[in-house]
Amino acid sequence: MSPWLVLGVGIFLLFGCAGCPVEIIPPSLVVRYGESALATCRALVPISEMSWNSTVGVVGMEMGVTELSWTVKELREWTVRSQCVISTEDGYECSKELPIIVYNMPDSLAVTSDPPGAMAEGKPYFLHCHIENIAPVQSLTVRWFKGSAQLIEDLQHQNSKVGPQNITSDLPVVPHLSDNEAHYRCQADLDLGPGGPTKLESVPFSITVYTGCAVEIIPPSLVVRYGESALATCRALAPSNGMGWESIVGGVVKDGGVQEVNWTVKELQEWTVELQCFINPRHDDQCVKGLNVTVYNTPNSLRVTSNRHGPLAEGKNITLICHIENIAPVQKLTVRWFRGDTKILENLSFGTSVGPQNITDSYTFSPNLSDNETQCRCEAELDLGPGSPPKLTSYPFNINVYKGCPIVISPPTLVVKYGESASADCSTFVPHNGIGWNSTLEPVDAVKDINSVHWSVKELREWTVKPLCFISTYDEQCSKALIVLAYTFPDTINVTTAAPGVMMAGNNYTLTCHIQNVAPAQNLTLRWFKGSVLVKEDHGPQDTSVGPRNLTFDLHITPETSDDGAQYRCEAELNFHSAVAKPPKLTSKHAISVAGK
């Protein structure tokens, strides 16, 4: 049997069972419209001729080849048929089809909303995905995503149309307020098998969802100082047939086509402003949205006064008053008190009156000595949210605290010779209702409006004078005593002995020092000297007697011959420990002579 007969039977078998004995590489083509195409046909059995029968790029019959290429430089047909045709040597002819898909992918996808603009909560809208010049639509699946979650797969564009199509895929949306700023995107998938494009995504499309009236007011609340300018912008969130502002001042109406209206006032001189932006949405009923306007005023400064002036006795109450002039709105006022840097008190309730008010806030406390020189202040704050004016702080109010009776006597002690003049001053550092001297001698009635009262006596002729300087402060009456030390002192003192004349050595003698008219005797110090040597010290009687006295002081001696010519003398001194001034000392002039045996 001829091998070719066997082959012919084989070819027949191939035709019958596995088709034309050629291999096309690649077995199918996916080509972008306008780009090049290339495939190669290779015979699997000995053949006589080979060709490509195509709607574009025909390759004529070639003899004596085993493979043949089909090429198109720029494929500009949407329907291309191409088959590789062979003839065997014994005249069998067969062909194999090369499946070719011509596609087009747009550069980008666009998402729009319908109607455009912001979306009202709960109303139906559409999102459209616009896909231009895509082919083949039979392989197109449009997928919608919200965030990363897939919503739907849209296959309804898979019709039989050939060539590029403009496709719009619709996504119905009924937004909730929580969908505000949600990102939607569409994705076009051309499922063309290996070699084809896979997918193209749109840029994310963010939706704005509002509730209520389709306007946005900027700023959402307005804080304006009385008399200053104000501006608010109302922006339509949906197509408008007209919009505007309703107000007792600065109202404005704009026709359709306008999407933004400003409310402006140069000098706002109303304390209550009711402001509403209205809109006639093209697809809805008229609606309004209000804007809260807070009109405020603050004083230039705060003042602190007190219910009393000057230094304060420890433990007594003082009330400080913070004066806040022409402040508004008092509903939002907070007043705080500070002692040093420490916040002590905070008050919030100042009524509900509209417009500027004069507010006073008080703070009562009883400082102690450690609060001396403390600075107190008050602070006013209007809490109006964003745009609030800065806090205001008063100048510091100084607290001075003292302890005891607030008077100073100068000098505090007087040492006065009986019959001579005496004077002292009494002064105070606090405000008072009267200051004076209470005294058996020359009292001074209480005087107001001066800080110092003078007490004086021309001739002091009393032994027990105790002038009291008294003061009536706002808190109490108190006094301090002036210590007056009246004294008298003799001009001379002398020394006597019982046996005048020359003394005998070895005998006992008594020397007597005489001091007449001395007072106060209690303060007298008497010293005996032999030559310059102190031999005895005595003191006046420590009794309670008052007034001048005659005093004698004895010194017992037993002279020796060596004492001949010795000088004995006594010296008297009045001592006032508390006093600066001292009366003079006195020394006796008499000398005693001692005779030898």
Ligand X SMILES: *[C@@H]1O[C@H](CO)[C@@H](O)[C@H](O)[C@H]1NC(C)=O
Query: Which residue ranges make up the site for ligand X (CB under 6 A)?
Result: 53, 85, 95, 132-133, 164-166, 221, 233, 260, 262, 292, 317, 325-326, 356-358, 364-366, 369, 372-373, 400, 402, 438, 468, 470, 479, 485, 492, 494, 496, 507-508, 514, 516, 520, 522-523, 548-550, 558, 575-577
Give the number of other Cβ atoms within 10 Å of residue 576's Cβ.
Answer: 17
Cβ–Cβ under 8 Å, residues 337 and 378: yes
Q: Smaller CB distance to ligand X: residue 128 or 146?
A: 128
Could you tell me the smallest distance in angstroms from the CB atom of residue 414 to ligand X?
11
Q: Smaller CB distance to ligand X: residue 5 or 309?
A: 309
User: What burial class does residue 115 get, using C-beta atoms within 10 Å of its C-beta: 0-12 exposed, 13-18 middle, 19+ buried?
Assistant: middle
Token pair for 307: 């219910």
What kind and span of H or E run contains 434? Answer: strand 434-438
Could you tell me the smallest distance in angstroms from the CB atom of residue 174 to ligand X?
26
Q: Smaller CB distance to ligand X: residue 173 or 243?
A: 243
Q: Smaller CB distance to ligand X: residue 206 or 272?
A: 272
Could you tell me the smallest distance in angstroms from the CB atom of residue 522 to ligand X?
4
Q: Smaller CB distance to ligand X: residue 182 or 325?
A: 325
Could you tell me the smallest distance in angstroms from the CB atom of residue 467 to ligand X?
10
Could you tell me the smallest distance in angstroms from the CB atom of residue 194 to ligand X?
26
Bridge partner list, 485:
415
Q: In what order do the strands lie in the sheet with 468-472?
A: 444-447, 434-438, 468-472, 477-481
- Rounded alpha-carbon distances, angstroms, from residue 270 to 94, 218, 221, 226: 98, 21, 16, 7
Token pair for 140: 């197109």
Could you tell me the smallest distance in angstroms from the CB atom of residue 192 to ligand X?
19
Could you tell me the smallest distance in angstroms from the CB atom of residue 478 to ligand X?
8
Cβ–Cβ under 8 Å, residues 20 and 13: no
Count, in order, helices (H) and strands (E) of the chain. Answer: 1, 55
Q: Smaller CB distance to ligand X: residue 137 or 207?
A: 137
Cβ–Cβ under 8 Å, residues 568 and 594: no
Three-point CA angle 131, 181, 155, nearest 5°: 30
3-state helix, strand, coil in the chain (%, to 5): 5, 50, 45
Q: Smaller CB distance to ligand X: residue 61 or 152?
A: 61
Q: Smaller CB distance to ligand X: residue 180 or 438?
A: 438
DSSP secondary structure code for residue 565 in this structure: T
Q: Smaller CB distance to ligand X: residue 4 or 418?
A: 418
Could you tell me the smallest distance in angstroms from the CB atom of residue 76 to ligand X?
15
Q: In whole angstroms, give the CA distance from residue 414 to residue 112.
A: 106
SS3 assignment, position 55: coil
Q: How far is CA 291 from the centre of its chain?
A: 27
* Residue in 569, 595, 563 with CA at minimum distance from that of residue 495: 569
Q: Smaller CB distance to ligand X: residue 207 or 471?
A: 471
- Rounded alpha-carbon distances, angstroms, from residue 175 to 65, 106, 122, 152, 179: 67, 29, 6, 16, 6
SS3 assignment, position 366: coil
What kind and span of H or E run contains 11? Answer: helix 3-17
Could you tell me the smallest distance in angstroms from the CB atom of residue 244 to ligand X?
11
Q: Smaller CB distance to ligand X: residue 173 or 555?
A: 555
Could you tell me the smallest distance in angstroms from the CB atom of residue 490 to ligand X?
8
Cβ–Cβ under 8 Å, residues 454 and 442: no
Q: Smaller CB distance to ligand X: residue 152 or 331?
A: 331
Could you tell me the smallest distance in angstroms from the CB atom of residue 398 to ligand X?
7
Q: Smaller CB distance to ligand X: residue 4 or 226?
A: 226
Please name the residues in contact with 285: beta carbons below 8 A apart, sequence gap of 6 or more: none
Could you tell me the smallest distance in angstroms from the CB atom of residue 54 to ligand X?
8
Cβ–Cβ under 8 Å, residues 20 and 97: no
Could you tell me the smallest distance in angstroms from the CB atom of residue 147 to ligand X?
29
Cβ–Cβ under 8 Å, residues 509 and 503: yes
35 φψ region: left (φ > 0), alpha (ψ -120 to 50), beta (else): beta
